[in-house]
Amino acid sequence: MAESDRIAAQAEAEVAPARVAAGARVARAATPALFLLPAGVLIALFFLVPVATTLYLSLTDISTLTFRQPRWVGLANYRDLLTDPFLPRILLNTVRYVVLTLLFNVGMGLTLAVLTTAVRPGIGNQARALWLLPRILPPVVYVLVWQGISREAPYGLLGILTGSSRGWITSHPWATVVLANGLVGASFGMLIFTSAIRSISPELFYAAAVDGATTWQTVRRVVLPLLRWPILFVTAYQTLSLLTSFEYILLLTDGGPGFYTTTVWSLHAYKLALSNYYGNVQFGLGAAMAAVLVVVGVVVSVVYLRVFNFRQLVGEPRIEVS
């Protein structure tokens, strides 16, 4: 009996440190987990659950006709998408819309930030406030302004100036769509880039001036390298936003003029799922198109993180010792 007690006490003594270490690890992990819990709940509610619901609906034939008893159809909706004869044109429109508008948004936002931070603060603040007006306008009012400007002569401003007898929305639909979106989207990049430029240490600008750097050399050698992280954020955010946005296209051209001239992926999904002309909206087919957008968004995000070398951006800064 005494021997068994001794063995039990020895075993307990050997296990106790392991228990203490495990308890310490749990205690260390509990605090970060507690802080991450609210964000985790929000991500689950507003991202994971909608994505799972979209994927499930995309595998059914749910529509207004089958709303009460939808059937499981597997990948049939995805096969229907692949056999759609207008799919290549819609894909090309989507790529054109995202690339052109993204270039305008990021380029114009960066240009505005550099210009408005190079002048006196009062003038720069007023210029930025003026550029924010399209963003704070309701989209319907903003599009009404564009329609008024771009109508044919003698009703529209551009028609009067150019003498054109055709409206600019009809004759130049893509230019109108890109400019209308770009003027709104550039304000987002302008604010982010302005904040980033103002956070750069003034000593760097003084050193560049002492070295005789021109304005362009200062922007290229000092400002742009320090804006890699904001540029990555704005580019990734704007790309994902453009992939899913269609309100200005809907209000300006409704996907026309003509047949699918400016119809993009998200607008086509919206019409299939929620606004079918014949009344039989196809939720399952629209969900399949939305699921494809989710996959494309994840792939694009990964590509951006690799192109901008995300590990280096968030890593410890290198200290050069000469």
Q: Do 226 and 200 form a contact (C-beta atoms < 8 A)?
A: yes
pLDDT category of residue 96 using cuts at 50, 70 and 90:
very high
66: tokens are 């089958």
Rg of the Cα atoms in the chain = 28
Q: What phi and psi, each to the nearest 5 degrees, are found at residue 60?
A: -125, 170
User: Among candidates 206, 320, 249, 233, which has minimal Cα distance to 98?
Assistant: 249
Distance CA 276, CA 263 (A): 14
pLDDT for residue 137 is more than 60:
yes
Confidence of residue 105 (pLDDT cuts 50, 70, 90): very high
0.75 exceeded by pTM? yes
Q: CA–CA separation, 88 vs 178, rounded Å?
A: 20
The DSSP letter of residue 59 is T
Is residue 10's pLDDT more than 70? yes
According to the per-residue pLDDT averaged within each range, which of 62-71, 89-98, 300-309 is highest?
Answer: 89-98
State pLDDT tens for residues 196-244: 999 998 899 899 999 888 888 998 888 998 898 899 889 999 999 999 8
Three-state DSSP class for 71? coil
Q: Round to the nearest angstrom and report the end-to-end CA distance of the chain.
A: 72
CA 34/CA 262 separation, integer angstroms: 47
Instruction: List, in sequence order, every residue forming a beta bridge with 60; answer none if it has no partner.
Output: 72
Instruction: Indicate the length of the chain as a whole number.
Output: 322
Taking every pair of Cα atoms in the chain, the longest distance, rounded to a whole number of angstroms, is 110
1 pLDDT higher than 80: no
**Alpha-carbon gap, residue 246 to 180, rounded angstroms:** 12
Place of tokens 């299939």: 272
The answer to whether the beta carbons of residues 159 and 153 sit under 8 Å apart is yes
Between CA 150 and CA 153 the distance in angstroms is 9
Q: Mean pLDDT over residues 173-199, rounded?
A: 91
Phi/psi of residue 284, nearest 5 degrees: -65, -45
Do 180 and 142 meet the contact criterion of CB atoms below 8 Å apart? yes
- 3-state secondary structure labels for all residues of 188-217: HHHHHHHHHHHCCCHHHHHHHHHCCCCHHH
d(CA 148, CA 129): 23
Confidence of residue 37 (pLDDT cuts 50, 70, 90): very high
The residues, any chain, with a CB within 8 Å of residue 133's CB and separated by 6 or more, are none
pLDDT computed for residue 149 by the predictor = 85
Q: What pLDDT does 320 receive?
A: 53
Residue 263 CB burial class (10 angstroms; 0-12, 13-18, ≥19):
buried
Please answer whether residues 90 and 265 qualify as being in contact, where contact means their C-beta atoms are separated by less than 8 angstroms: yes
- Model confidence pLDDT, tens digit, residues 263-281: 999 999 888 888 776 667 8
Who wins on pLDDT, 20 or 223? 223
